[in-house]
Structure 1
Amino acid sequence: MARLGALFLAVIAVLPLICSCFSADSPTDRRVLVLVDDLALRSSHSLFFNSLQSRGFDLDFKLADDPKLSLQRYGQYLYDALILFAPSTQRLGGSLDQNAVLEFVDSGRDLILAADSSASDVIRGIATECGVDFDEDLEALVIDHTSYAVSETEGDHTLIASDALIHSDVILGDKKIEAPILFRGTGHSVNPANSLVLKVLSASPSAYSANPKTKLSSPPSLTGSAISLVSIMQARNNARVLISGSLDLFSNRFSKSVVQKAGSKIKYEKSGNEQFVTEISKWVFHERGHLKAVNVSHRKVGEMTEPAMYRINDDLEYSVEIYEWSGTSWEPYVADDVQVQFYMMSPYVLKTLSNNQKGLYSTSFKVPDVYGVFQFKVEYQRLGYTSLRLAKQIPVRPFRHNEYERFITAAYPYYGASFSTMAGFFIFSIVYLYHK
């Protein structure tokens, strides 16, 4: 009885955590676990953390090597997002390891990972599994002798001032980031064949990755704009991952620094870091670009209920409602590139859906003159947006024997030929029998 009582109390204690997890109806009502290698980061990076808390996120700070760490309890995840600000931690504490973090992402949850030149093998391993490869030189930094911040003393020029941002309002917001973004850290490469990973902040063509404390004995492995400073990944299950080669990118010091890019006479009183990390975190945590589809329906033209099957050449209507999460509520999603396929082995019909500017997308078409098992398929994938994959199966039958028309218009020439043959045979018979 004592054991049952203890188990009951433990379940009661964890229920509030489970109930506050991610839900499709409220994507941003979530708990976030923040792992750091030094609790001093709570104050040195407070601007970033305060931004998250002001937007309704519940942050739980813990040391990355805490022996009591756990992402799950009784088979349920306790958190819906993970911020890993512990680049130098050699081993994660408790039940956490590289596989546990990757399973967390595989379950559809989000991750922000920040590294630097001291990144451990576990941090590099997680990044690699997410499609990002850090420079193999463990002490390499991104160096740029033309696009550096002039406040940096002459020398290695490892304080980069970059404005090579991805052009996407859904990822970075519709307000342009005017000031350069300060970056000091290690660079990484992205496989161009991997469509799930995107470079958000890139280095300039003159940049390269190397150890600033040693002379170059061979050409750098990473050079130019191929170096990614910050990358994002959206998995096929719509989980989102942000990978940065710099932990300082999120710091108060970089956010408040005066910036003047080398070769430019413009001095900015404040860098673009605070705006950048705020806007990119909104995307990672699904405050932007999160779509949902509801009320998928199809019917014969003029009818209200969905049929169990269609007949060839029936006229039908298809409709679906699509909404986007604004951070506080669901708003109608407006686009002109949503398409539906009427599919069996290959698309027999491909139609672009029209919308009423209120989230309702619809179209109508004629069922093809082919019978079998078809699917209504919507596969919507656009940069920065969660992907929509909708499928609804429906059989299509041919005409029954009593449903065909008695006389087919296209067959009139054959009808005429038959009757003219009969008339000709009758006349020939009369003439043959009675003509002398």
Structure 2
Amino acid sequence: MAKMLFLPLLILLLFLFECESFSAENPTDRRLLVLVDDLAIRSSHSLYFKFLESRGYVLEFRLADDPKLALQRYGHYLYDGLVIFSPSVQRFGGSLDQAAVLDFVDAGHDLILAADSYASDLIRGIASECGVDFDEDPDAVVIDHVGYAVSEIDGEHTLIAADDFIQSDVILGEKKIEAPVLFRGIGHSVNPASTLVLKVLSASPSAYSASPKTKLSTPSITGSTIALVSVVQARNNARMLISGSLDLFSNRHEKSGNEQFVTEISKWVFHERGHLKAVNVTHHRVAELAEPAMYRINDDLEYSIEIYEWSGSSWKPYVADDVQVQFYMMSPYVLKSLSTDLKGLYFTSFKVPDVYGVFQFKVEYQRLGYTSLSLSKQIPVRPFRHNEYERFIPAAFPYYGASFSTMAGFFIFTIVYLYNK
């Protein structure tokens, strides 16, 4: 009986260990759930899936309406990332729904969502919650009569050649994408005021979004405002890729930039690039090593922090010249740029303001393509004690002189007054 109880317990412990393998020390997603409308997508998009598997990802393919679908069990997530290649699904199977997908992202996991002209309300709803709005016309696709692909044979100019990429080596890699990306699908718009959503691939100025089967009316979105592929980095640093084309990831487009584009952007989505961590945050008085419980006004202090970037397999020093620290109470009293030793260490020194209260060391670092760093450390600042002031303050010498001269004058006056006949 004891052995029968021990075996399930051991399996449960191993299961929980597997579910906790994703951590800040190893941020690259490894277990991916791929939802498809048809398992034939495994063949039609095999090159993309082979790329993921070659980089160590474990893919589990499931039909999007599988009645046994679940993202978590016993309060632990079964997967590190989710790939939704099922644009026409009306309802997910099992316990999976729109709220479950959004909770998955809110828990810090990553998402790739591909739509097309048959995108369901479910897929559109998930994209909308992520800050991306697909064209409201269900029949609309992106059309470009100038920038269409030469290989297109249907004459509707819905297969377009796009090369308006975001200018970021972190997101798309250092190697320039020379060939245009062939795109057939629907466009979307993003809020230009949003700092979380970025257009990675945009349409050309001659493109517009409309139905090729009906008489052209005023398109809802036109030109370079049409986003073809966008990425989202949430405040918890979870990353999402939203594409208006499932065909973008397929094997059919040879001699184009599709393979390089989806490969490089997938590295970013799954945190192989642009993932930062900060460790060893320290502060102390100059010429001391121990971190004090509080500072005194006008103390000279030193502050340091180590920042590293994940390379996909290991942590490497992050080198930049725009990292700053604030010494903050209601507003920043001190704002200093940090120097670096090019080995991951950032440091500076400054004098504590002549104001006492509860301050914070704050580092708020946000840079295009990188995960954000938000660090704060609270420390009180006290005034001088009564026995810590200087015995004689140089600035008060005139007052000292006035006091002693007054006493001397009074003494002389007294002598003269008493003894003068």
TM-score interval (norm. to shorter): over 0.9
Residue equivalent to 1:164: 164
Per the TM alignment, residue 289 of structure 1 is displaced from its structure 2 partner at its CA by: 0.3
Q: Please give the alpha-carbon distance, in whole angstroms, between the structure 1 residues aligned to 2:383 and 2:36.
A: 65
Q: Please give the alpha-carbon distance, in whole angstroms, between the structure 2 residues aligned to 1:59 and 1:118.
A: 25
**AA aligned opposite 2:112:** I
Q: What does residue range 184-195 of structure 1 map to in structure 2 within 5 Å?
A: 184-195=184-195
Q: Cα deviations across residues 160-213 of structure 1 (Å, max 9, x unaligned)?
A: 100000000000001000000000000000011211001000001111100111
**AA aligned opposite 2:229:** V
Per the TM alignment, residue 355 of structure 1 is displaced from its structure 2 partner at its CA by: 0.3
Residue equivalent to 1:259: none
Once the two structures are overlaid, the 10-residue window that deviates more, 414-423 or 203-212, is: 414-423
Residue 11 in structure 1 maps to residue 12 in structure 2: yes
Secondary structure, aligned partner of 1:431: helix
Q: Please give the alpha-carbon distance, in whole angstroms, between the structure 2 residues aligned to 1:226 and 1:23.
A: 37
Residue 281 in structure 1 maps to residue 266 in structure 2: yes
Q: What does residue range 184-333 of structure 1 map to in structure 2 within 5 Å?
A: 184-216=184-216, 218-254=217-253, 256=254, 270-333=255-318
Retained in 1: the 8 A contact 2:16–2:76? Answer: no
Q: What does residue range 123-134 of structure 1 map to in structure 2 within 5 Å?
A: 123-134=123-134
Residue 146 in structure 1 maps to residue 146 in structure 2: yes
Residue 361 in structure 1 maps to residue 351 in structure 2: no
Q: Please give the alpha-carbon distance, in whole angstroms, between the structure 2 residues aligned to 1:356 and 1:414.
A: 49
Secondary structure, aligned partner of 2:283: strand
Residue equivalent to 1:180: 180
Per the TM alignment, residue 154 of structure 1 is displaced from its structure 2 partner at its CA by: 6.7
**AA aligned opposite 1:118:** Y
Residue 411 in structure 1 maps to residue 411 in structure 2: no
Residue 352 in structure 1 maps to residue 337 in structure 2: yes
Per the TM alignment, residue 6 of structure 1 is displaced from its structure 2 partner at its CA by: 8.4
Distance of aligned partners of 1:116 and 1:29 in 2 relative to their CA distance in 1, 3 Å threshold? closer
Per the TM alignment, residue 4 of structure 1 is displaced from its structure 2 partner at its CA by: 6.0
**AA aligned opposite 1:189:** S
Q: Cα deviations across residues 276-325 of structure 1 (Å, max 9, x unaligned)?
A: 00000000000000000001111111111111111111111110100000
Aligned counterpart for 2:411 among listed residues 426, 429, 434: 426
Residue equivalent to 1:106: 106
Retained in 2: the 8 A contact 1:28–1:57? Answer: no
Retained in 1: the 8 A contact 2:110–2:270? Answer: yes
Once the two structures are overlaid, the 10-residue window that deviates more, 42-51 or 322-331, is: 42-51
Per the TM alignment, residue 78 of structure 1 is displaced from its structure 2 partner at its CA by: 0.6
Retained in 1: the 8 A contact 2:200–2:230? Answer: yes
Per the TM alignment, residue 7 of structure 1 is displaced from its structure 2 partner at its CA by: 5.6
Q: Please give the alpha-carbon distance, in whole angstroms, between the structure 2 residues aligned to 1:399 and 1:349.
A: 20
Q: Give the ranges of 4+ consecutive aligned residues of structure 1 lying more than 4 Å apart after TM superposition.
A: 1-7
Retained in 1: the 8 A contact 2:148–2:158? Answer: yes
Q: What does residue range 88-103 of structure 1 map to in structure 2 within 5 Å?
A: 88-103=88-103
Residue equivalent to 2:69: 69
Residue equivalent to 2:322: 337
Q: Cα deviations across residues 363-387 of structure 1 (Å, max 9, x unaligned)?
A: 0111111111111110001100000
**AA aligned opposite 2:347:** S
Retained in 1: the 8 A contact 2:29–2:271? Answer: no
Per the TM alignment, residue 10 of structure 1 is displaced from its structure 2 partner at its CA by: 5.7
**% identical aligned pairs:** 79
**AA aligned opposite 1:402:** N
Secondary structure, aligned partner of 1:230: strand
Secondary structure, aligned partner of 1:91: coil
Per the TM alignment, residue 430 of structure 1 is displaced from its structure 2 partner at its CA by: 2.5
Retained in 1: the 8 A contact 2:355–2:383? Answer: yes
Per the TM alignment, residue 8 of structure 1 is displaced from its structure 2 partner at its CA by: 3.1
Residue equivalent to 1:137: 137
Where structure 1 has 5 or more consecutive residues not aligned to the other structure, the ranges are 257-269
Q: Please give the alpha-carbon distance, in whole angstroms, between the structure 2 residues aligned to 1:117 and 1:111.
A: 20
Secondary structure, aligned partner of 1:280: helix
Per the TM alignment, residue 425 of structure 1 is displaced from its structure 2 partner at its CA by: 1.9
Q: Please give the alpha-carbon distance, in whole angstroms, between the structure 1 residues aligned to 2:399 and 2:135.
A: 77
Secondary structure, aligned partner of 2:416: helix
Q: Please give the alpha-carbon distance, in whole angstroms, between the structure 2 residues aligned to 1:26 and 1:222.
A: 41
Residue 379 in structure 1 maps to residue 380 in structure 2: no
Residue 398 in structure 1 maps to residue 399 in structure 2: no
Retained in 1: the 8 A contact 2:165–2:202? Answer: yes
Residue equivalent to 1:85: 85
Q: Cα deviations across residues 370-417 of structure 1 (Å, max 9, x unaligned)?
A: 111111110001100000011111111111111111001111111111
- Number of residue pairs matched? 420
Retained in 2: the 8 A contact 1:180–1:272? Answer: yes
Q: Please give the alpha-carbon distance, in whole angstroms, between the structure 2 residues aligned to 1:306 and 1:226.
A: 52
Once the two structures are overlaid, the 10-residue window that deviates more, 68-77 or 308-317, is: 308-317
Q: Please give the alpha-carbon distance, in whole angstroms, between the structure 1 residues aligned to 2:183 and 2:252.
A: 11
Q: Please give the alpha-carbon distance, in whole angstroms, between the structure 2 residues aligned to 1:16 and 1:141.
A: 45
Secondary structure, aligned partner of 1:418: helix
Q: Please give the alpha-carbon distance, in whole angstroms, between the structure 2 residues aligned to 1:56 and 1:148.
A: 36
